[in-house]
Structure 1
Amino acid sequence: MLPLRQFQDFIEQQQLFVRGNRILLAVSGGKDSVLMLHLFKAVGVDVGVAHCNFNLRAGEAQRDENFVALLAKNLGLPFYVTHFDTKKYAAEHKISTQMAARDLRYNWFEEIRLKEEYDYIALAQHQNDAVETVLINLTRGTGISGLHGILPKRDRLIRPLLFLTRQQIEETVAANNIDFVEDSSNASTNYTRNKIRLQVVPHLQEINTNLEKTFAENIARFAELETFLNVQVEKLEAKIINKKADAIYISLVEIEKLNPQKLLLYELLKPYGFGENVVHEILDSLKALSGTHFFSATHQAIINRNDLVIIEKNKMVTANQFIHPTSKSVVFAGNEISLQFTEEIKFEINARKAFVNADKLIFPLALRNWQNGDKFTPLGMRSLKKVSDYFIDEKVPLHLKGTTPILVNGNGEIIWIVGMRQDNRYKLTTATKKVAIFELKIK
């Protein structure tokens, strides 16, 4: 007998999907995924079968594909198959073969799900897989999310066999005479997961014969703990993170108050790609001078006076943008600077606009970042001033010094610190005949 009642109960308890949903089943041909297929078929869910051929085991891989294709045909189910050059992908991306296979299959499953309009992708992982995942995570180092291992449901991925152990699956398949194919690589200790399964777990089972049950209970507790932590972090984020158009600000005083400090700051900064080591460096530098920088793959954090300021790296523009007489607008640091000419001599007080004597312009003009040594004559003044001193006087945050566009004339003179102050040398006078109007349009 198939464990249909337990299967349906688990689906309901974990709210994996609802009646009427279409499910794409990832079927390798092994006993786990084949049992999952038979369970779904027996309870009458609308399913399709997806199979990946990773071309790693020569004839055996083709045997698996043929078996799954025939199984889907005999059950009258849609069948989807793809072939990967897994070793080539691994070499190109400098990752392990296992990681390459994982990336390839998940990306392809999602493509098929969207194209064929399935609601979820079902994976045949079971309790022993969950145990192995937690042990792997603990061995490599992990946060709370790694302690709960495999969850029954995450986004569009569901794992409806997590109520079963490997032994229960083997017994069920044998009792119901279910055909399957065996992956010979499962017996190899060349892979980390196999080493854990074949060499580590048996010793742990000698200590605790109910190892899978114990881990399942622990995993449930860790999942609840993560949920609780996420709720607290969301509340904390709303309280101490100030998201502005230019950057994200976190008060250094509020960071000092965090308890436990490292855990909570890590969770707050995790969405911006900052790892545990960088968080440790930030905490060690809270009393450092303004200007201390920290980096993730996507963001930069800067200690600026009383705040930790976080900005996206793609806003740290260094390349010049050029403006020609025919230019209508250019984009710099994610914002638009437009240009128009008029013979109407007019001026308005607006930091986002510069009204420039067009006859003094030497094209092409350049938009660039501030550079050491830059000087200009602030509007209303007669003497040159270092732009760096102007930034200090105006209390411009450090991160904005690096992203504020500087409009430069063809002769090298600064025309406008965009969005802040125009140069007095290019102001309108009674002799002005044509006006160039520059406007910063923040997106």
Structure 2
Amino acid sequence: MEKKILNFIEKYHMLQKEDKVIAGISGGADSICLLFVLLRLQEKIGFDVIAVHVNHGLRGETAKRDERFTETFCRERNVPCIVYHENVKEIAAQKKMSVEEAGRLVRRKAFEEVRIRYGGTKIALAHHQNDNAETMLLNLARGTGIRGLSGIRPVNGYMIRPLLGINRKEIEYYLKEHQLSYCEDETNAGDEYTRNRIRHQILPMLEEQVNRQAVRHMNETMEQLNQIRDYLEREIEEHCRCVVRQEEEGLLLLRDEWMQCDPVIQNGIIQKCLENLAGTGKDLVSVHVAAVAELFEKQSGRKRNLPYNICAERNYEGILLIKQTAERQTECREELIIPGITRLKDRNLRICCTIWEKDKNFSIEQIPQTPYTKWFDYDIIKNSLTVRTRQPEDVLGVNRQGGTQKLKSYFINEKIPAKSRERILLIAEGHQILWVVGYRMSSRYQISEHTKRIIEIKIMEDKKHGRDN
């Protein structure tokens, strides 16, 4: 089985030499298998492992038992283990979400904190093929599109799932073969949660009465759907450049350009814009996309209210999407914490900066082509970076030979309205602009074959200090 996992890791380029892996370990069968396999592969590949255990405060003495077991398992194998204690039930009530969602939130927060604190390059999670099949069925039953049906990605940024190529039975057999004990979570045994009913009733019935390889076949289908999804997202991103225009109030979808797109691309553009404004894709479904699309056939002035306080308004050019609660302050200046997280409370945003060494397997295709995540050559940067609004002396690099253009000229050439320019965020080194956020990055700081270190700058909605979505 280890060979199978190693092949899966290599297929998706999950781990490289000198990676520092933050592994989420609950003490259950899946995570113990993950940690044990990582340790077995450690010498072969050459990476470090740090374990993170989150006590959710839900199961009393049983949770303490899991915590002690995980700490002992790690100590016996010389693995650093960092433990978090959270009151998930209280967090769920405060944020008006399910206990399951709150648990996922605190785990991801803990993993991210440890990654930043210890310079982690990867976060490894223990999802396997059965988890993926459950996710697919759950999304299918609730109503979804290609994204929901494509399941859990093996690699999502620095999040990796090395066990997605194997199923639960293989994990159990492996643990038994190596005489590894683990903790049983009694909450997984009952059927009060929807996912548990799929796990205990629907999937076994499919395997017993339809096809014994049902889980494997579902995962193969999800892999194909992921490829289709990646292609569509690239197409949607490309079409957004001519269909969507950044305005001071929000995002403007230009009707004439939108009407020339294929219906699949049309819906994808709307979905992408809504997610950009909301900062999440959760609870944004096809009915909301359809409500926006219908406005193209309505008279100017017609509106639709959508989740996350987003309002869609028909005007003469198309549809303006506005997040009504967004702060409208113009002045902004903060020095970026590198590596780390910088919060812009007035804008309800957080900026996450991460640095890592470029490895020998790096390819240009790995560079994200998304409007709010960019990679830069960190070796070129000599001074501190700031996030701010424009200043008169600002210039933008137009080539790697040192050619520049005044930022004001760039705004004029791009026909960005004067009233919008004061709000646009810039990532700057002095008066050299690395990134006109939402528009373009400087050629001067682009990654090249000579790059040794990469800095990723990601801008996201700050849910901690803003609205609880």
TM-score > 0.5 by shorter chain: yes
2:127 to 118, 125, 128: 125
Give secondary structure in 2 for the equivalent of 1:43. helix
Give secondary structure in 1 for the equivalent of 2:296. coil
- Kindly state the Cα deviation for residue 314 of structure 1 after the two structures are TM-superposed: 4.9
1:312-391 counterparts in 2 under 5 A? 312-314=323-325
Is 1:309 matched with 2:320? yes
Structure 2 unmatched runs, 5+:
279-283, 330-345, 347-387, 391-416, 424-469
Percent of aligned pairs sharing the same letter:
28
Give secondary structure in 1 for the equivalent of 2:51. strand
- Kindly state the Cα deviation for residue 169 of structure 1 after the two structures are TM-superposed: 0.6
Is 1:294 matched with 2:299? no
Identify the residue that residue 54 of structure 2 maps to in structure 1.
52
1:9-48 counterparts in 2 under 5 A? 9-44=7-42, 45-48=47-50
Deviations 1:210-240 (A, max 9, x none): 0121011101011011011111111211232
Identify the residue that residue 266 of structure 1 maps to in structure 2.
270
Identify the residue that residue 154 of structure 1 maps to in structure 2.
156
RMSD: 2.8
- Kindly state the Cα deviation for residue 263 of structure 1 after the two structures are TM-superposed: 2.7
Deviations 1:176-205 (A, max 9, x none): 111212112221111111110001111111
Query: Which range moves more in the overlay, 211-220 or 4-13?
Result: 4-13
- Kindly state the Cα deviation for residue 143 of structure 1 after the two structures are TM-superposed: 2.2
Identify the residue that residue 409 of structure 2 maps to in structure 1.
none
Identify the residue that residue 82 of structure 2 maps to in structure 1.
80
- Kindly state the Cα deviation for residue 298 of structure 1 after the two structures are TM-superposed: 5.5
Identify the residue that residue 93 of structure 2 maps to in structure 1.
91
Amino acid at match of 2:222: I
Deviations 1:77-127 (A, max 9, x none): 111001111111111222211111111111111111111211111111110
- Kindly state the Cα deviation for residue 160 of structure 1 after the two structures are TM-superposed: 0.5
Amino acid at match of 2:232: L
Distance 2:303 2:252 in 1: 14
- Kindly state the Cα deviation for residue 60 of structure 1 after the two structures are TM-superposed: 1.0
Give secondary structure in 2 for the equivalent of 1:95. coil
Contact 1:122 1:159 in 2 (8 A): yes
Distance 2:118 2:327 in 1: 41
Distance 1:315 1:42 in 2: 49
Give secondary structure in 1 for the equivalent of 2:106. helix
Is 1:114 matched with 2:111? no
Contact 1:24 1:122 in 2 (8 A): yes
Distance 1:150 1:187 in 2: 23
Is 1:100 matched with 2:83? no
- Kindly state the Cα deviation for residue 310 of structure 1 after the two structures are TM-superposed: 3.2
Contact 2:242 2:257 in 1 (8 A): no
The total of aligned residue pairs comes to: 325
Contact 2:20 2:120 in 1 (8 A): yes
Query: Which range moves more in the overlay, 278-287 or 268-277?
Result: 268-277
Contact 1:233 1:267 in 2 (8 A): no
Give secondary structure in 2 for the equivalent of 1:250. strand
Distance 2:161 2:186 in 1: 24
Identify the residue that residue 351 of structure 2 maps to in structure 1.
none
Distance 1:41 1:313 in 2: 50
Distance 2:237 2:161 in 1: 27
Identify if the C-alpha distance between structure 1 residues 239 and 113 changes in structure 2 by more than 3 Å, giving closer, same or farther.
Answer: same
Contact 1:126 1:163 in 2 (8 A): yes
Structure 1 unmatched runs, 5+:
319-330, 337-396, 404-443
Contact 1:122 1:160 in 2 (8 A): yes
Query: Which range moves more in the overlay, 169-178 or 234-243?
Result: 234-243
Identify the residue that residue 243 of structure 1 maps to in structure 2.
246
- Kindly state the Cα deviation for residue 295 of structure 1 after the two structures are TM-superposed: 3.7
Distance 1:230 1:98 in 2: 29
Identify if the C-alpha distance between structure 1 residues 4 and 279 changes in structure 2 by more than 3 Å, giving closer, same or farther.
Answer: closer
Query: Which range moves more in the overlay, 64-73 or 5-14?
Result: 5-14
Is 1:256 matched with 2:243? no
Q: From the CA coordinates, give the structure whose radius of gyration is larger.
A: 1
Identify if the C-alpha distance between structure 1 residues 60 and 314 changes in structure 2 by more than 3 Å, giving closer, same or farther.
Answer: closer
Deviations 1:283-327 (A, max 9, x none): 323232221223442643321113222344356869xxxxxxxxx
Give secondary structure in 2 for the equivalent of 1:24. strand
Identify the residue that residue 277 of structure 1 maps to in structure 2.
287
Distance 1:16 1:10 in 2: 9
Contact 2:27 2:183 in 1 (8 A): yes
Amino acid at match of 1:266: I
Identify the residue that residue 217 of structure 2 maps to in structure 1.
214
Q: TM-score, normalised by structure 1?
A: 0.68
Distance 2:320 2:271 in 1: 16
1:170 to 169, 172, 178: 172
Contact 1:258 1:264 in 2 (8 A): no
Contact 1:278 1:294 in 2 (8 A): no
Give secondary structure in 2 for the equivalent of 1:178. coil
Amino acid at match of 2:313: I
Q: TM-score, normalised by structure 2?
A: 0.64
Contact 1:272 1:298 in 2 (8 A): no
Deviations 1:311-352 (A, max 9, x none): 44356869xxxxxxxxxxxx9xx999xxxxxxxxxxxxxxxx
Distance 1:282 1:53 in 2: 42
- Kindly state the Cα deviation for residue 146 of structure 1 after the two structures are TM-superposed: 0.8
- Kindly state the Cα deviation for residue 22 of structure 1 after the two structures are TM-superposed: 0.6
Distance 1:117 1:61 in 2: 28
Give secondary structure in 2 for the equivalent of 1:106. helix
Identify the residue that residue 228 of structure 2 maps to in structure 1.
225
